[in-house]
């Protein structure tokens, strides 16, 4: 099964991101045609993507996640920056980045990486950039657009989730495997 570890985003934030996507869509149409926008109901913050995993390994993964959480306390996060990977001049992925709570998110991602690498998962080589993916671009010309200002209301992170992702032609279907309280 294809799985990942994530933080779910409140509906109010998803609504704010949906408005941002609509505004950006108008600008991007000029530069790259279709942007595949992430459906608001599927927006989440991925802490660690594990990929295809045999079902019999799930319990070991759950133990590693629980171990990595230790005494992690709930914390607030907010999203305030629009960015792109690899950059905003030629983005393949558009995202909204974490502002408040960024240090706690990076620490949590590092702890998960450490515990999961001990059971055979690849350590993330890139620098952690806590973000919500909002769109993907297949073909892009050099962009000269104005990023709309974005500032979402902070919200508390009290849980993380181990989630199964089933890819379909209509988009991914996410199913919770396990909820972990901070």
Among candidates 95, 124, 115, which has minimal Cα distance to 160?
115
- Band the pLDDT of 143: cuts 50, 70, 90: low
**By the 8 A CB rule, do 28 and 144 touch?**
no
- Tokens describing residue 130: 């806590």
Q: Higher pLDDT residue, 34 or 46?
A: 46
User: Which of the listed CATH numbers 3.90.1140.10, 3.50.50.60, 3.40.30.10, 3.40.50.10420 matches domain 2-181?
Assistant: 3.90.1140.10
Residue 145 in this model has a pLDDT that exceeds 90 = no
Residue 140, pLDDT score: 67
- The b/e string for 52-66 (b: 16+ C-beta within 10 A; e otherwise) is ebeeeebeebeebbe
- Band the pLDDT of 141: cuts 50, 70, 90: low
Distance CA 112, CA 165 (A): 19
Distance CA 38, CA 133 (A): 7
**Which strand ranges, in their side-by-side order, compose the sheet holding 93-98?**
35-37, 131-137, 93-98, 79-85
Distance CA 105, CA 110 (A): 9
- Tokens describing residue 151: 């500032």
The residue extents of the domains of the chain are 2-181
pLDDT tens by residue, 161-176: 999 999 999 889 999 9
All residues at 6 or more sequence positions from 22 whose CB lies less than 8 Å from its CB, including other chains: none
Measure the N-to-C terminal CA separation of the chain; round to a whole number of Å: 25
- Give the three-class secondary structure for 109: helix
Residue 25 in this model has a pLDDT that exceeds 90 = no
- Band the pLDDT of 139: cuts 50, 70, 90: confident
Residue 27, pLDDT score: 72
Least confident of 12-26, 88-102, 138-152: 138-152
Span 80-104, average pLDDT: 89
Q: Which residues are catalytic?
A: 44, 131
Residue 82 in this model has a pLDDT that exceeds 80 = yes
Instruction: Give pTM, 2 decimals.
Output: 0.92
Residue 74, pLDDT score: 97
């Amino acid at each position: 099964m294809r799985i990942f570890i994530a933080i779910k985003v409140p509906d109010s934030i998803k609504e704010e991101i949906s408005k941002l996507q609509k505004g950006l869509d108008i600008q991007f149409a000029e530069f790259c045609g279709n942007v595949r926008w992430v459906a608001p109901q599927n927006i989440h913050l991925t802490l660690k993507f594990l990929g295809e995993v045999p079902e019999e390994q799930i319990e070991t993964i759950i133990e590693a996640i629980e171990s990595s959480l230790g005494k992690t306390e709930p914390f607030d996060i907010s999203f305030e920056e629009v960015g792109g990977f690899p950059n905003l001049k030629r983005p393949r992925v558009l995202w909204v980045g974490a502002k408040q709570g960024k240090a706690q998110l990076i620490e949590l991602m590092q702890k998960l990486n450490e515990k999961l690498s001990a059971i055979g998962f690849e350590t993330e080589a890139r620098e952690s950039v806590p973000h919500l993916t909002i769109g993907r671009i297949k073909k892009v010309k050099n962009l000269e657009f104005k990023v709309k200002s974005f500032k979402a209301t902070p919200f508390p992170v009290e849980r993380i989730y181990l989630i199964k992702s089933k890819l379909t032609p209509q988009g991914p279907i996410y199913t919770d495997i396990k909820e972990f309280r901070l």
